[in-house]
Amino acid sequence: MALTLIDMLPEKRDAIFSRADDYANNRLVCGVHFPSDVQASKLIAYSVHAVMGINPQYRSELAAASAELRRALGLSAIGH
């Protein structure tokens, strides 16, 4: 989800990654994941995001969602 949000709000990249890292750390603190689970999930996320990125339907839906989100937040449009 973080990678898709970064596609939509690239200027918020650092904040989004920070929040994703906090969330992952909380899973460790709560004892529901091991550090290797977090590392594996990041690898899977990057792989899935890369595959999704070449799907024309995903690209089209991403562009529409990005435009809607940016309008709602009062941000200027970005090109995809």
Reported as a single tens digit per residue, the pLDDT across 37-62 is: 999 999 999 999 999 999 999 999 99
* pTM for this entry: 0.85
Query: What pLDDT does 78 receive?
Result: 83
Query: Residue 64 pLDDT > 60, yes or no?
Result: yes
Per-chain mean pLDDT for the chain: 95
Domain with 65, as residue range(s), is: 2-72
* Separation between Cα atoms, residue 13 and residue 18, nearest integer Å: 8
Task: Supply angle C-alpha 63, 67, 71, rounded to 5.
Answer: 170
Domain membership flag for residue 58: yes
Domain membership flag for residue 80: no
Query: What pLDDT does 76 receive?
Result: 93
Domain membership flag for residue 50: yes
Domain membership flag for residue 26: yes
Domain count, the chain: 1
Query: Residue 22 pLDDT > 60, yes or no?
Result: yes
